Every structure is written in structure tokens, then in C-alpha cells.
Structure 1
């Protein structure tokens, strides 16, 4: 009888670790761009539009960091 065991892949060796690091940097860049876009979207809103969301202009950066 044959059995198959699934194990998660690991990054071995220098090139595997470098590839994983590059992937993490890429993901961080994507996240930073998304946060910048959300910040700009909120920044362009009027004070009354922000109030409808339950926030003030001073809270925009905090909202973006928290993931609004």
C-alpha cells in the first residue's frame, strides 16, 4: 500500500531565501500603494463626507493604517 504525505514547501538555500525576501518586499510595496490610494481618496473628501463615515480630517492617517 502506498501513502502520500503532503508537507508545506520551505525555502531552502540562498536562492530560496532571496526569492522569499523579494516576494515579501513586493507584497509590502503593493500594500503601501494601496494605503496611499486610500489616503488620497479620503483626503479628497469634504469634511461633511468624512463626518458621514464617522471620522475627521485629523484621523485620516489612522484610518488608513487600520485598514478603512
Structure 2
């Protein structure tokens, strides 16, 4: 078994693992985009209450992975 729970059965196993990894990466990118959208819609006052300024948003999103 591989780390993602799929059996390594040669080409098919590697292909299935690659597809699984791809969809996991897409889901992670979607979560990051949603977080960025959420934070970017907040007012500067709301961001300040969280200890952030608008320029911090990309770094916060990248670190929240």
C-alpha cells in the first residue's frame, strides 16, 4: 500500500496515485482561493482586529496550508 491508501499495482497504481494527488492539489488550491477571497473582502478595521493588514493576506493564505 502507498501512503494515500492505494495499492501500488504497477502503471495503474501509479496513475491512480497521480490522479488522486492532482485532485487533492486542486482541492487545496480551492481552499486557499476561498480563504484569500474571504480575507480580501474584510474591511481594514476587521483585518486589524485579526492583527493583519491588507498586504499580509497572500502570506497568511500561503502559510495556512
Q: Specify the structure having the higher radius of gyration (Cα).
A: 1
Match of 2:25 among 20, 24, 28: 28
Task: Tell me the number of residue pairs that the alignment of Structure 1 and Structure 2 aligns.
Answer: 60
Q: Unaligned 5+ residue runs, structure 2?
A: 3-7
Question: How is 1:1-16 mapped onto 2 (pairs within 5 angstroms)?
Answer: 9-10=1-2, 11-16=8-13
- CA shift digits 1:1-45 (9 cap, x unpaired): xxxxxxxx1413001000000000000000000000000000000
Matched, 1:46 2:40: no
CA RMSD for the aligned pairs? Answer: 1.2
Q: Unaligned 5+ residue runs, structure 1?
A: 1-8
SS at match of 1:12: coil
